[in-house]
Structure 1
Amino acid sequence: MQPDDIDPSLVDFGVLARWMDDEGLPGGAFERVERLGGGTQNVLVRFCRGDRPYVLRRPPVHPRPRSNDALRREARVLAALDGTGVRAPRLIAACTDETVMNGVVFYLMESVRGFNPTTTLPRPYADDPAVRHRMGLDAAAALAELGAVDHVAVGLGDVGHPEGFLERQVGRWLSELESYDALDGYPGADIPGLTEVAAWLEERRPREWRPGIMHGDYHLANLLYDPDHPRVAAIVDWEMCTIGDPLLDLGWLIATWPAGEAAPLAGAIGTAGGLPATDELVDVYAARTDRDLSALTWYAVLACFKLGIVLEGTHARAFAGKASKDVGDLLHATTLGLFARARTFMET
């Protein structure tokens, strides 16, 4: 039976039941069905069937041209990470055939016991800054574990296009920004510092780097923490994963780290404070890697540049009625903040 609060155009539970039966997964009624919040993009639905919990993930309500390909890549990366020790949800099964359900691919993953610190802080996390400090350090440790995985050894040698990855970044994301002009009603990007940041990145690009698995959007909002211990239980939302330069993930963590006026944007944990300084994050990562971190400021600036342009996409889609105006306005303000932070990094 289709749950009343889940639109069948998003998840058709009759189709899902038949597909799960064909996959040999436990049968029976769908129970405790719940659409999960978090993020502005892909759809997440948690449910139980046959006494087994699942989380279903599919592209957004208004899929982008590459949404299905992104979900196929996510599923493949999660499957490859199983058994590596990287703290990612375990993939259960994936439907990579978009003709099965409403023109989109989807996958099922394990339901992780944990909480996101940007939305809630249970005790003792809310009461003890020393515990929050340890949470922050473990975010860097969990990231270092991902960066240490040999992507070729786990079967991801043909994923993405790592050759020339850094060389492509500025042009790739400027083109993405330009593509938003095709959305009805969007007046065009108004981002102070855009040209200046782009030129700085091109002039100072690292000459040597080593490919590896990138999460692509590594920050506190994409981490679930163990309710009983101040450690990362799972890294979630792998939409932007690829084979590229893992140091961009570290730059991303630094670029989005709650500090100063930006701290409240990280929600509960940003407001509570007590997190380690970014230098401490770098020290934790450095102790667990043999990568050269001397150009880390460049990666942090690139992270601000790339993430700012990604978020501006939701602002542009809001003009076309494909995203909430309130969310679009908030993310545009975040974009402006990221470019301001980039210029600060450049100056220091």
Structure 2
Amino acid sequence: MIGELVRPAELGRLLAAATGEPRWRELSASLISGGKSNLTFELTSPAGALVLRRPPTGDLPSGAHDMGREVAVQRALAPTAVPVARIVLWHPEPEPLGVPFYVMEKVAGHVIRGELPPSYADTPAQRVAMSDALVDVLVGLHALDPVAVGLGDLGRPAGFMARQVDRWGKRGRAPSITALGAALAERIPQSPPPSVIHGDLRLDNCITDPDDPGRIAAVLDWELATVGDPLTDLGLLLFYWREPGEPQSDLVPTVTALPGFPGREHLVERYATRSGRDPGDIAFYRAFAHLKFAVIAEGIAARVASGAMAGQDFGALDGEAVRIAEAGLDLLRKG
């Protein structure tokens, strides 16, 4: 299957031409597990290692899995303090893989999901430093002027939250997801000034420095990036952040419930202090994150069932989508 998705001979020729390195013609590929929207592969050859990003197979919703958006954002952020991987090849034409795709440098470091690497971030101080570094990357991204970095046309900030709630609410199938969308639509807050937002920032969408847990080496997966309400990024980060005793997500396992990691309140306080921005109705933004991820979980379940995820399986996702939506409703009631 990987050969059909990557087509090593054709891709190798393109990379050899793009890099001036003929050894890329001897290319091999392996799937990097964990990608639940676009597919990610490590490419290796005698010339070194790179990373390929491409959409899944099958029919794709209009506007989704936009490779060009990821490329545009990573190129725009390359000169800034926000760490991103360098784009090596952008191929917007559908051939030879049948879809647009891009190749980027492989950044050294750790992608941390359900467990920490051995002897890495094994003290409370290092775990707090890792958490703070993640928040600080978010603060740095939100501090950028979208126009100054060339991303002024990336989104439509006017009416952003109303459109987002309407869009995601309509995409859900389960009654609890529809109910959460309706509840959010009734209490949309006044948004702060717009900024470039990632749209899915969490620990495993970053690469941490191999030697320093307190440094983010690169931020990945810019598919949902736009210009809009920065507090949506904070709400999503809090959604992914598990605290001790809370259930793990089958889709996004994380280490943050381990001893030594700070809780969500610490993240909110650091974001507010470093950004100078009032977190406002943070319960709304956390509940919106629940809506968004519940819809995403339904979409991943459909793609897995259709065989579009290169054989990856993420468990019983329909039930998880309902649980997530119901937890979002509970947040709104308590908030």
Flag whether TM exceeds 0.5 (same fold): yes
| Residue in structure 2 matching 1:308, options 263, 271, 294 | 294
Equivalent residue for 2:281? 295
Asked if 1:338 is matched to 2:324, the reply is yes
Equivalent residue for 2:39? 43
- Measure, in 2, the Cα distance between the counterparts of 1:264 and 1:295: 25
Q: Deviations over 1:97-146 (max 9, x none)?
A: 22x32321111111011112214412333632332232222211111111
Shift of 1:65: 3.4
Task: Report 1:265-304 matches (<5 A).
Answer: 267=253, 269-270=255-256, 272-304=258-290
- Measure, in 1, the Cα distance between the counterparts of 2:42 and 2:309: 23
Q: Secondary structure at the match of 1:162?
A: coil
Cα gap change, 1:103/1:26 in structure 2, threshold over 3 Å: closer, same or farther?
same
- Measure, in 1, the Cα distance between the counterparts of 2:247 and 2:42: 31
Equivalent residue for 1:181? none
| Residue in structure 1 matching 2:208, options 194, 213, 225 | 225
Task: Report 1:19-98 matches (<5 A).
Answer: 19-28=14-23, 29-30=25-26, 33-49=29-45, 51-62=47-58, 64-66=60-62, 70-98=66-94
TM-score scaled by length of structure 1: 0.85
- Measure, in 1, the Cα distance between the counterparts of 2:89 and 2:124: 39
Task: Report 1:1-348 matches (<5 A).
Answer: 6-7=2-3, 9-28=4-23, 29-30=25-26, 33-49=29-45, 51-62=47-58, 64-66=60-62, 70-98=66-94, 100-125=95-120, 127-177=122-172, 189-192=173-176, 194-230=177-213, 231-259=215-243, 260-263=245-248, 267=253, 269-270=255-256, 272-320=258-306, 322=308, 327=313, 329-346=315-332, 347-348=334-335
Q: Deviations over 1:38-96 (max 9, x none)?
A: 12232222224563431111111335134676111111111001010102222222111
Q: Secondary structure at the match of 1:262?
A: coil
**% identical equivalent positions:** 34
> One-letter code of the match for 2:144?
V
Q: Deviations over 1:6-30 (max 9, x none)?
A: 31x2112222233234434322143
Once the two structures are overlaid, the 10-residue window that deviates more, 264-273 or 331-340, is: 264-273
Shift of 1:195: 4.4
- Measure, in 2, the Cα distance between the counterparts of 1:47 and 1:225: 20
> 5+ residue gaps in structure 2?
none
Cα gap change, 1:203/1:122 in structure 2, threshold over 3 Å: closer, same or farther?
same
- Measure, in 2, the Cα distance between the counterparts of 1:150 and 1:61: 36
> One-letter code of the match for 2:58?
H
TM-score scaled by length of structure 2: 0.88
- Measure, in 2, the Cα distance between the counterparts of 1:37 and 1:325: 10
> One-letter code of the match for 1:87?
P
Q: How many residues align?
A: 330
Conserved 8 A contact 2:82-2:141: yes
- Measure, in 2, the Cα distance between the counterparts of 1:88 and 1:318: 29
Q: Deviations over 1:296-333 (max 9, x none)?
A: 22111111111111111122344555569994653333
Cα gap change, 1:319/1:118 in structure 2, threshold over 3 Å: closer, same or farther?
closer
> One-letter code of the match for 2:265?
D
- Measure, in 1, the Cα distance between the counterparts of 2:195 and 2:253: 30
> One-letter code of the match for 2:239?
A
Shift of 1:153: 0.7
> 5+ residue gaps in structure 1?
178-188
- Measure, in 1, the Cα distance between the counterparts of 2:125 and 2:287: 29
Cα gap change, 1:108/1:333 in structure 2, threshold over 3 Å: closer, same or farther?
same
Cα gap change, 1:321/1:103 in structure 2, threshold over 3 Å: closer, same or farther?
closer
Q: Deviations over 1:192-212 (max 9, x none)?
A: 3x3442233122212243222
- Measure, in 2, the Cα distance between the counterparts of 1:96 and 1:72: 7
> One-letter code of the match for 1:117?
I
Shift of 1:263: 4.1
